[in-house]
Amino acid sequence: MTGKLYVIGTGPGAADQTTPQAAAAIAAASDFFGYGPYLDRLELRPDQNRYASDNREELSRANAALDRAAAGASVAVVSGGDPGVFAMAAAVCEAIEKGPPSCRAVDLEIVPGVTAMLAVAARAGAPLGHDFCALSLSDNLKPWDVIEQRLTAAASAGFVIALYNPISKARPWQLGRTFELLAEVLPPTVPVIFGRAAGRPDERIEILALADADALLADMATCVIIGSAETRVVDRPGRPPLVYSPRSLTRAMA
């Protein structure tokens, strides 16, 4: 008997940013696996079971969820934002690939959501309005020199950069080093957005020039967006500034 495995993105956090598709999947599942704070956002019924785990236990969580689904349960793996962006969908796919053949028979449904960079961008203007990249700054799963190489390549080629997992207690210096590295290839005036809890009551959006960007403004729940040389800041009297990347490339790249 094979059950169902939903991998659900609940969006950036505000209830009205969770899609009806995600809400329906949550209503349909019986067993919930995820990082505790993401599960805390759900209003589960008494007949729904909750299996919270730490945020670094992605593969073991995926395996546990897959086992339950393969045994016939209707299981949900829950991510904030979108499950396909530095979240659980890749871990579930990896567990399916590495697991016994029965894993491949599980009915898998991945439910997309509004990922953090889109929510932060919407509150700041349109910083992702032109070519951009999304990069995890965590060197737990890839070497730091590869991260530096990607940062330099992306900034040099004119991509706006959205950073996920910018900092944590175990990774305190990487974001500061990132700003130093990018200052070598980008103008000091390039805007940097620190966005946290976008759309929620405790939202915090801060905009600084790259030369003034301070890693201490970020925590592990912050999405940091670093503009390109094209990105502009529009001041507005009595309102926060707008940051946007023009649709047209207005001057030659170096």
191 binds a copy of itself, rule: CB under 8 A: no
Positions of E strands within the chain: 4-9, 31-35, 49-53, 74-79, 107-111, 125-126, 132-136, 160-164, 191-196, 204-209, 222-226, 232-236, 239-244
- What's the min distance (Å) between Cβ of 174 and a copy of itself? 14
Among 32, 33, 86, 179, which residue interacts with a copy of itself (rule: CB under 8 A)? 86
Binders in 211-240 for a copy of itself, by CB under 8 A: 232, 234-239
Structure tokens at 43: 């209003």
- What's the min distance (Å) between Cβ of 207 and a copy of itself? 14
Report the length, in residues, of the chain. Answer: 254
- What's the min distance (Å) between Cβ of 242 and a copy of itself? 5
85 binds a copy of itself, rule: CB under 8 A: yes
Binding piece for a copy of itself, criterion CB under 8 A, among 42-50, 66-74, 156-164, 183-191: 156-164
156 binds a copy of itself, rule: CB under 8 A: yes
Residues 6+ apart with CB under 8 A from 143: none
Please say which residue, 49 or 126, places its beta carbon nearer to a copy of itself.
126
204 binds a copy of itself, rule: CB under 8 A: no
Query: Look-up: residue for tokens 């953090």?
Result: 116
Give the separation between CA 79 and CA 96, rounded to whole angstroms: 18
123 binds a copy of itself, rule: CB under 8 A: yes
Among 17, 63, 174, 222, which residue interacts with a copy of itself (rule: CB under 8 A)? 17
Binders in 88-117 for a copy of itself, by CB under 8 A: 89-94, 96-97, 104-105, 108, 110-115
Does residue 244 sit in helix, strand or coil? strand
Among 28, 141, 170, 211, which residue interacts with a copy of itself (rule: CB under 8 A)? 141
Gyration radius from the chain CA atoms = 20
* End-to-end Cα, the chain, rounded Å: 60
